[in-house]
Structure 1
Amino acid sequence: MNEIAKKIRRKVIDLLYKHKACHLGSCMSCIEILVALYFDIMRKEDKFLLSKGWAAAALYSVLSEKGIIDWDDLYENYYEVDSKYWGLVHHSVPGIEHSLGSAGHGLPVAIGMALADKKRRIFVLLSDGEMDCGTTWESALFAAHHKLDNLVVLVDYNKLQAFGRTNEVLNLEPLKDKWNSFRWDVYEVDGHNIEELTATIKKALAVKNKPHIIICHTKKGKGISFAENKVEWHYYNLTPQLYEKAKNELR
């Protein structure tokens, strides 16, 4: 699956470069998480929400690799005026359950889905910046109260958000202790280790009567040397020179 992750990274940079789009750093930090879910964990009846909807290029690339959407159509139309392939995930795209991208909205929606059908597993990927949102913590209380053990939250904890480092914008630590105090089933993993991710998700799903959260320690811009752990790659675009450098690093 590591080769799949590398292929997804190549697709993402192709999309972002062709259409002069941003959010490269946010896409690169969550690719192993998406690959673990879509190529191992998720069953046909499961549902996934990308709360950090600005990483749309990563999820669209995964969906194309799964054959859910057409790569050529995506490549030609991503980020274009009147395209269904918005820069934020949009429900008009096959495989996208809900339009998202406004921080703090994905978890409340996921909880509603989990509560409505407790036989269905719901997975949702949050950014660490979304830990700043009051809706996240209100939802955390609600999910624990209703013992939503069919809900799995994954946090892309790359320690950077739009305008700075998370520990400078609004320090989240001790993050694991916070979620434990909200009566969740809590884990921490290397978010770029697919084997560790899949094993931990499976372990979590065996725990009953608690919602689950997996704090995934990641690097923004993972896999591209000039973008790794750089806050500016939340918004920067690839120049022709940097695009070629990124392609060479991902061969």
Structure 2
Amino acid sequence: MIDSHVHLWGAEVAAAPWLAGARTAPIRRPAALGEYAAAAASCGVDGAVVVTAEQSAAETARLVAACAREPLVRGVVGWADLAGDVGAADLTGLAGIRHSVISEESGWLRRRHVRAGIARYARSGLALELLVAARDLGDVLACAADHPSLVIVVDHLGDPDGAGPPWQDRMRALAPHPNVRMKLSGDGVLPAALDVALHAVGPGRLMIGSDWPVSTLRAPLHAELGALVALLGPLSDTERAQVLAGTAADSYGLIA
């Protein structure tokens, strides 16, 4: 298993505004690789993709340095400014970059300077990871159509929010774009949402992710991953292997 969505952070990120509030108090502390590795040892995890939780070049550099010699970490997804001079960003040591589109105004992906930045970034050969709301899936589709060779990874199934009709329609619209991949991670991974995703994009475009340590607000790592694996019960062995490791390896260009 490759856990495709793991966060590691220090005290600075732990103090970020998005972690403020009573609900997130248990994870408002440093989250280190050693703690994750200890929990993952009994979960069948062979590798992890570390994903930045902070949109800063400094945090990206910290993660790359911290994970450089760690065999458990197969790839690091950092951040670069798509709305700025992304072409000048240092992408060394990265398997992709991530942007929190939900933190932007609706339509951010359609802005001229953002589209120009994505076009420049697409030449890097790395994956583009997007944290989006269901409202943004139409913009993801347009981006995928504009850049068919750019692998676009959508976090947390694109915010299914109960797998209602608007999200279902947008998921089905993504079906003809094989460069769009989806992560089975986050609060919205329920049987109904997974069923829609499987029919829309198939197991070859889905990957499992724990969203640790955020997921520990719901359950320990073994329980979170166990619940996700249990949802894959109806799949064939080959299909299950794709979701558990193959899609992540292909999407991020990871070494098996």
Does TM, scored on the shorter chain, surpass 0.5? no
Using structure 2 for the length normalisation, give the TM-score. 0.38
Using structure 1 for the length normalisation, give the TM-score. 0.38
